[in-house]
């Protein structure tokens, strides 16, 4: 099934899989099971059987390009909407570009398939994935390629595909493997244990996955065995994978939180235009974990708003938490979205080191945690920032990237810090090339009296973060 506007595809389902159309969830509803009729001219007709339902149903295509199914219960005179499609962004044709997958349940819905990288890193850094992805390493076509199983997805568009009705899954794999242009395969029909072979050639377009719906099928995507395999360390709260994922999710949360706050403060339909917001108190104690250990940012009592044309604003009363404030805000009262970026950078360095920025001490110098991390970075000893408790479960490239991103966020000048959308991209794409961080804010050694006071008070008890609060009427 395809919905088009002129010559432009707006939505498409996958092929018939024996129960319904792949990726088209309401085509196989149990109340109205579909009936597919294969005509002599190789065309197909589809109808719906009324399975003991004492009522009526109709399917319509409205002026907005939405397919809707209505039912009218027995004795009623009103049509009730049963379901409709497209139902979310991932149903839009080619939402994420070629060789990528759309996952509607994630904060950033588009990601490249394994073995692929963004065609345009600059575009993806601002959440524009329309350019799609390209292979990280070309296929070698010498029978050393392997296949990755991607479960429960809507199959790619069949523009460049081939169908073999009599092949089972193993025969399909062998046929694809010996045919170099073949980049993916899968069962076309999953009845009776699976039969029929679909093979794809060229770019894979319009893939989405499903979590709880039965309309997705498994596809096997070809990749070069030379593609670097990531070290498996588990996703437990004590492992570096957990930290890596938490950092990325926190960055995404901060970025989309800013977008959501902007949207709620304007009646305009666009969520990204007229106002910008600044948390002013992004710190460790304001990051909470849900039941799945996903970080969530909380406490916006000190948040400030400034107009869409303003780059920054200024206040005479500085509020927030020492140790997380940006230098321009702490000294001059100047704040912007780059102030929150600074606070996020402090959070990253605190998470990976297991130490607080405020109250940090080191026997060889009197710098804060930010200065300590920057010194180690310039000495090519950035791994020394890592919490010793993680020494047996980390991926070196991930640690170095987290330290580098953290240092980029805490640079002294706001103009040199990345935007939150860039931070999301840098943490989510290990192939992206990053700039070298410059001197962080507050890169000045404290007095020995202050350090001794901190060291003596940091031995037996935890240190509470001090918040400067200004009451504002609401």
What is residue 238's DSSP assignment?
Answer: T
| CA 48 – CA 46 distance, rounded (Å) | 7
Q: Which of 14, 413, 345 is nearest to 198 (CA)?
A: 14
| CA 247 – CA 249 distance, rounded (Å) | 6
Contact between residue 131 and residue 95 where contact means Cβ atoms under 8 Å apart = no
| CA 318 – CA 49 distance, rounded (Å) | 68
Burial class (CB in 10 A: 0-12, 13-18, 19+), 441: buried
For 312-340, b/e burial (b = at least 16 CB within 10 A) is: beeeeebbbbebbbbbbbbeeebbbbbbb
Q: DSSP labels for 4-69?
A: EETTEEEEE---B-SSSBTT-GGGG-TTS-EEEEE-TTS-EEEEE---S-SEEEEEEE-TTS-EEE
281 in catalytic set: yes
Strands 100-102 and 207-209: parallel
Contact between residue 100 and residue 111 where contact means Cβ atoms under 8 Å apart = yes
What is residue 446's DSSP assignment?
Answer: P
Tokens of 103: 């996952």
- Pure H helices in 145-204: 169-177
DSSP 3-state of 185: strand
* Catalytic entry in 91, 281, 364, 458: 281
Q: Torsion angle, CA of 250/251/253/259, rounded to 10 degrees?
A: 160
Q: Which of 35, 104, 28 is nearest to 69 (CA)?
A: 28
Task: Please count the other Cβ atoms lying within 10 Å of the Cβ belonging to residue 287.
Answer: 18
- The single residue listed with the structure tokens 């699976």 is 194
CA-derived radius of gyration, the chain: 27
Tokens of 87: 């139902």
Greatest pairwise CA separation for the chain in angstroms: 92
Contact between residue 336 and residue 280 where contact means Cβ atoms under 8 Å apart = no
| CA 195 – CA 186 distance, rounded (Å) | 9
Contact between residue 196 and residue 187 where contact means Cβ atoms under 8 Å apart = yes
Q: Which residues are catalytic?
A: 281
């Amino acid at each position: 099934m395809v919905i088009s506007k002129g010559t432009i595809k707006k939505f498409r389902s996958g092929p018939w899989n024996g129960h319904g159309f792949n990726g088209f969830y309401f085509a196989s509803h149990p109340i109205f099971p579909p009936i597919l009729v294969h005509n002599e001219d190789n065309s197909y007709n589809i109808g719906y059987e009324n399975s003991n339902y004492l009522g009526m149903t109709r399917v319509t295509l409205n002026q907005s390009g939405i397919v809707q199914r209505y039912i009218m219960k027995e004795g009623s005179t009103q049509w009730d909407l049963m379901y409709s499609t497209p139902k979310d962004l991932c149903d839009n044709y080619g939402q994420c570009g070629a060789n990528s997958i759309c996952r509607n349940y994630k904060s950033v819905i588009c990601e490249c398939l394994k073995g692929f990288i963004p065609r345009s890193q600059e575009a993806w850094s601002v959440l524009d994935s329309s350019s799609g992805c390209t292979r990280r390493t070309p296929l070698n076509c010498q029978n050393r390629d392997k296949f990755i199983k991607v479960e429960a997805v809507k199959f790619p568009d069949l523009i460049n595909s081939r169908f073999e009705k009599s092949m089972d899954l193993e025969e399909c794999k062998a046929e694809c493997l010996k045919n170099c242009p073949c980049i993916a395969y899968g069962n076309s029909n999953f009845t009776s244990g699976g039969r029929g072979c679909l093979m794809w050639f060229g770019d894979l377009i319009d893939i989405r996955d499903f979590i709880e719906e039965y309309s997705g099928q498994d596809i096997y995507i070809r990749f070069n065995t030379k593609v670097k395999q990531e070290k498996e360390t588990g996703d437990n709260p004590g492992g570096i994978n957990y930290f890596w994922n938490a950092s990325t999710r926190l960055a995404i949360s901060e970025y989309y939180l800013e977008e959501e706050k902007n949207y709620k403060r304007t009646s305009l339909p666009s969520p990204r235009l007229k106002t910008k917001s600044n948390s002013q108190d992004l710190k460790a104690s304001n990051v909470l974990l849900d039941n799945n250990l996903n970080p969530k940012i909380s406490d916006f009592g000190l948040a400030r708003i400034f107009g869409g044309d303003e780059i920054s604003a200024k206040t005479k009363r500085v509020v927030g938490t020492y140790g997380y404030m940006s230098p321009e805000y702490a000294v001059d009262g100047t704040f912007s979205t780059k102030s929150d970026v600074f606070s996020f950078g402090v959070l990253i360095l605190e998470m990976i080191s297991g130490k607080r920025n405020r109250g940090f001490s080191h026997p060889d110098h009197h710098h804060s945690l930010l200065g300590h991390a920057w010194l180690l970075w310039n000495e090519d000893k950035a791994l020394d920032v890592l919490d010793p408790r993680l020494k047996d479960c980390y991926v070196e490239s991930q640690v170095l990237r987290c330290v580098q991103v953290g240092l980029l966020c805490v640079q002294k000048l706001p103009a040199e810090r990345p935007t939150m959308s860039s931070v999301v991209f840098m943490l989510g794409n290990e192939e992206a090339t990053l700039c070298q961080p410059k001197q962080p804010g507050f890169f000045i050694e404290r007095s020995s009296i202050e350090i001794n006071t901190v060291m003596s008070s940091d031995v037996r008890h935890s240190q509470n973060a001090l918040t400067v609060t200004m009451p504002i009427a609401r």
